[in-house]
Amino acid sequence: MTVLTDILARTNLVAYTSATVFQPRKLKERIEAIRKQGYTHTEEEYFDRRRHHELVRPRWHADRDEKRFADLVISTASAISSRRRAD
């Protein structure tokens, strides 16, 4: 049993919205994709009943915009890291 499998087996996985990924197999697939991509994003995956708010759907299209924004964030973070090392 891997560490991730063990953690998932001991965790109360809850579907906060209809978009929440909570099935262990799907979570493992998502984590693997995140590792390969180096980033992640979520859409409508969480609802906090205590605060009575839900994350609203953004005005973007994941299939069109995700890679573009991820590349911008990663390149900006790299530039900041390089600059900090130089200082």
Residues 48, 17 within the same domain:
yes
- 85 is in which domain, residue-wise? 59-87
74-78 contacts, C-beta under 8 A, 24 or more apart: 74/38, 74/39
What is the reported pLDDT for 10? Answer: 92
Confidence of residue 19 (pLDDT cuts 50, 70, 90): confident
- Encode pLDDT of 48-65 as tens digits: 656 544 444 556 677 777
| 11, 19, 45, 59, 80 from 67: Cα distances, Å | 31, 20, 19, 15, 20
pTM: 0.55
- Choice between 55 and 69, residue whose per-residue pLDDT is larger: 69
Residues 31, 52 within the same domain:
yes
> How many domains does the chain fold into?
2
